[in-house]
């Protein structure tokens, strides 16, 4: 697995970790990748084939296997960004389910980021999504 496929695998795992991929999460997944290198310049068919491959791994082997295959392809900086994108995707439907929180906690450990850095990333994404103006 190369870095771009690994990055997409972690994003896919984030939207699938609660057992369902809602419309908002699917849109967010696409949006998160569409504006990033190399996805912005890849032909639609290439992206579709990549996701078919990733979905096959997800269906056959599960989320853990998908994430475990993806991580070695990513360097430290890519791992940080993958965690931030995963957290962004988990928050995209405005509700973080317990399964999703467990996924993010486990992913933070699996990515082997310094604990304080991983927590900082998750905290910032949570701050971005809190409804601080609600009464």
Please report which helix (H) or strand (E) contains residue 55, including its range: helix 44-61
Per-residue pLDDT of 40-50, as tens digits, reads: 999 999 999 99
Q: Which pTM value belongs to this model? A: 0.92
Assigned fold of 3-129: TerB-like (1.10.3680)
Question: Taking a C-beta distance cutoff of 8 angstroms, is the pair 25, 92 a contact?
Answer: yes
Note the pLDDT of residue 135.
Answer: 64
Domain residue ranges of the chain, discontinuous segments joined by +: 3-129
Low-confidence ranges of the chain (pLDDT < 70): 135
């Amino acid at each position: 697995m190369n870095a771009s496929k690994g990055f997409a695998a972690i994003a896919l795992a984030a939207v699938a970790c609660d057992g369902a991929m809602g419309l908002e999460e699917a849109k967010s997944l696409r949006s998160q990748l569409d504006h990033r290198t190399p996805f912005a310049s890849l032909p639609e068919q290439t992206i579709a084939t990549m996701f078919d491959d990733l979905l096959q791994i997800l269906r056959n082997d599960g989320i853990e296997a998908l994430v475990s295959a993806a991580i070695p392809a990513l360097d430290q900086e890519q791992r940080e960004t993958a965690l931030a994108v995963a957290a962004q995707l988990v928050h995209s439907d405005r509700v973080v389910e317990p399964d999703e929180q467990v996924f993010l906690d486990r992913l933070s450990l699996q990515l082997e980021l310094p604990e304080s850095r991983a927590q900082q990333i998750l905290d910032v994404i949570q701050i971005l999504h809190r409804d601080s103006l609600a009464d």
